[in-house]
Structure 1
Amino acid sequence: MKPSHFIGSRVVKTGVAVFLTAWICELFHAPAVFAVITAIVTIEPTVADSIRKGFIRFPASAIGAAYSVFFIYLFGNSPITYALAATLTIVTCFRLKLHAGLLVATLTAVAMIEVIHSNYFISFLIRLGTTTIGLVVSTTVNMFVLPPDYTAHITENMMAIRKRLAAKIEKVFYAVTAEQPITAVYSLQSSDDVYKKIRQTETLIQFQKEEAKYHPLTSNEKEFFKQIEKQLASLKLIHYHIDNVLTTKLRNDLWMDHEKKIIREVVDELVDTFYHKTKLNQTDICNLRELYWRENGVASRKPDANIANLPPELIITYELLTICQLTNRFLEYGNKVEVVKSSD
């Protein structure tokens, strides 16, 4: 990992939150360790997450502290105290669906055992107070110090998805038009980095939407994310149609040479479009459309012609035409994104 990417905004915010939390605890002569633990785990990708999970972590921490005090009173500082406090804290939080607070509650429960010797109720209240300090400080830091902005990351991901889709389109359609398409398609790698990248980008867009509740977007920014979301939906559908080709039952005598040429010319156009955002050549699209209707006519004259027995040639040309249509839609949304950028 590059050093410049290692020191990210969340790392900086965590450091600031820990410092402020420890400093405030020192002002009140309160033990800082529990507050610091809470502050560390409360720095979330969005302010909304910090607030939402904060309301879960506070009662969870109270449960952990209560179990710790109770078992210290019964058994003192002993192994059974650690085991019972940790186990019952986890079980109770799980039963109450306080999943986001499980970690901090369990850490609080076991860490308190070492430092409590008397005044159990006062110690319990102090732990709740320091936990509150950690929650409030980390949420405030997350809101005002380097507020989350995923625009650059989303833009980078969109570019990466485009290029990976281009590579996948080229590999898949060149494979199905190979001399031995069954072997060629089978040899393609099964791992799918494109889908993972799409899911990651969807998550980042959702983070940005949640962040907009606390740091409102301008009208141009709203339009930008609206068009980016539409672009991503188009790319996701393209990925789906590529996978349909991969799952099509093939034969080794699918194409004649001129048909292979038509398909590969369209594929080359798609690859160039995804890399350089150029318009598709309509002549190549028309040739592919004619090939589709020709295959459709042949299929309809077969005695077993029905939806369950569509020939692979027809399926593949249909999927490629659909990908072309979705690519044109992607370019339209891209033009709107550029208009929004130029108006800033």
Structure 2
Amino acid sequence: MSLGPRVLKTGLAVVLALYITIWLGLEPPVFAAIAATFTIQPSIYRSWKQVLEQIQANTLGAIIALSSIYLFGNNPIVIGVVMVIVIIISLKLKMEGSISLTLITVLFMMSSPEFEGIITAANKFIIVLVGMGSAFIVNIIISPPNYNKNFTEKMDISFRSMSLLIRTAISNELTERTFQAQWAKLKKDISKLEDLYKILDEEREKISRVKPLDVREIIVFKQMLASLQHGLKLLDIIEDHFFQSRPEVEHTREFDNHLEYLIDYHEMILLKFAGKIKDIEGADEDYALDETGQFLEAIISETSYEREHKLRLVIIGSAIFDYAFQLERLNDLIDQYQKKKQHVEKSTLSSILKNPRTFLKR
């Protein structure tokens, strides 16, 4: 794990929890620190959701623990049975993420050799709540990372890895060791992108007041991710079928050239989104999709291969067509997003020019 914002926020939440419990005279403060560690989350929405879930689960766990102490005592067998019951109930209520802290709360409540009364039990429960509250406060005060920027940066890194793999998938120029390392890295990067997208989607949907432009941006991010996922799927299919189909040299060159063309097109689309190049010529006429459709039709009409080998090539051709379709959709969505963005910027500028005093007052 790298030293990022979440690591620092965890440390600050622990410090805050310890200071608050010491200031309130609650003992032992270490359980507040443990609760803070389990509650910290990468975004405000997830932190809020986690706190609500933790409060519900821990309240339920505390009630079960107190009831068990009153009825059966707190010998090791009773504690073990209570732990099992708490796990089962948490799973039934779909609170899997709160199980760890709830079990710690139950152990904390039942840890004394003798039951010391409801006041002591309440004191222990408050300690856990202080830890959860401290984590939530830190998450609100300290701004979360710029997930939009992180997403686009990680997208660029993932695309470069995929570009290398697709450009060399047919020509087989990479060593097996390098290919496998790059492939594993790409899968890991795409998995991180999926997590980032989920956070972005949650924040926009649950916390922020979503503007139409923001919704379009999220849709673009979703399609960027889908394009990468289909590129990865294409690589899997090429690995499984291409060389087993025993292609002729001429057809190998055609596959290689068309993949080169599509990966160049993918790169141009991403550069256009970043504002580094002008519009792509021919994009409005679905040029890439038409070219790939003709390429697939040529594969289907080929008669020089055995049935099994031809079917393998058709599978690859279909995956290439699917990848081209995702790229064309991405290009269209980016066009719509940028046109809307330009319209909003022009409208804002026009409003400022018409009412400069109103703007200055703001």
Query: CA, structure 1 residues 71+336, in 2 after alignment: closer, same or farther (shift >3 Å)?
Result: same
Q: Is the 8 A contact 1:65 1:108 kept in 2?
A: yes
The residue that corresponds to 1:40 in the other structure is: 37
Relative to structure 1, the CA distance from residue 66 to residue 116 in structure 2 (aligned partners, 3 Å threshold; closer, same or farther) is: farther
Say if 2:266 is the partner of 1:262: no
CA distance in 1, matches of 2:94, 2:288: 57
Structure 1 counterpart of 2:203 = 211
**1:329 offset after TM fit, Å?**
3.8
Report matched runs for 1:123-202 at 5 Å.
Answer: 123-175=120-172, 189=180, 192-202=184-194
Match of 2:323 in 1: 323
SS at match of 2:207: coil
Following superposition, the deviation at residue 226 of structure 1 comes to 2.2
Is there any run of 5+ residues in structure 1 with no aligned partner, and where? 179-183
Structure 1 CA distance, aligned partners of 2:194 and 2:45? Answer: 17
Q: TM-score, normalised by structure 2?
A: 0.70
Q: Is the 8 A contact 2:90 2:99 kept in 1?
A: yes
Cα drift, residue 317 of structure 1: 3.9
2:22 maps to which residue? Answer: 26
Q: Which residue of 2 aligns with 1:240?
A: 233
Q: Distance in 2 between matches of 1:88 and 1:122?
A: 24
Matched to 2:14, the amino acid is V
Q: 1:203-234 deviations in whole A, cap 9, x for unaligned? A: 21121122222244555444322212122223
- State the match for 1:312 in structure 2: 312
Residue 169 of structure 1, CA deviation: 1.6
Q: 1:155 deviation in Å?
A: 1.0
SS class of match (2:247): coil
CA distance in 2, matches of 1:271, 1:151: 23
Indicate the residue corresponding to 1:297 in structure 2. Answer: 301
8 Å CA contact retained: 1:46, 1:211: yes
Distance in 1 (CA, whole Å) between partners of 2:288 and 2:220 is 28
Tell me if 1:62 matches 2:59: yes
Task: Compute the RMSD of aligned alpha carbons.
Answer: 4.3
Inter-partner Cα distance in structure 2 for 1:252 and 1:139: 57
Give the alignment partner of residue 228 of structure 1, picking from 198, 221, 238: 221
Distance in structure 1 (CA, Å) of the matches to 2:253 and 2:148: 40
Cα distance change, pair 120–231 in 1 and its aligned pair in 2 (3 A): same
Counterparts of 1:247 and 1:165, CA distance in 2: 17
- Local SS of the residue matching 2:41: coil
**TM-score normalised by structure 1 residue count:** 0.73
Letter in 2 for 1:30: L
What secondary structure does 2:26 align onto?
coil
Code of the residue aligned with 1:109 in structure 2: it is V
**Shift of residue 103, structure 1, vs aligned partner:** 0.9
Higher mean C-alpha displacement, 309-318 vs 231-240: 309-318
Q: How many residues align?
A: 327
Q: 1:30 to 1:83 in 2, by over 3 A?
A: same
Distance 1:34 1:174, change over 3 A: same
Cα distance, 1:270–1:9 mapped onto 2, change above 3 Å: same
Q: 1-side partners of 2:214 and 2:290: how far apart?
A: 37
Contact 1:65 1:112 in 2 (8 A): yes
Give, in whole Å, the separation in 1 of the partners of 2:88 and 2:46. Answer: 23
Q: 1:79 to 1:111 in 2, by over 3 A?
A: same
Amino acid of the structure 2 residue aligned with 1:120: G
Q: Any idea what SS the aligned residue of 2:301 has?
A: helix
For 1:202, the aligned partner's letter is E
Question: Cα 1:83–1:95, aligned 2, differ >3 Å: closer, same or farther?
Answer: same
Fraction of identical pairs, as percent: 20
Larger mean CA deviation between 141-150 and 102-111 belongs to 141-150
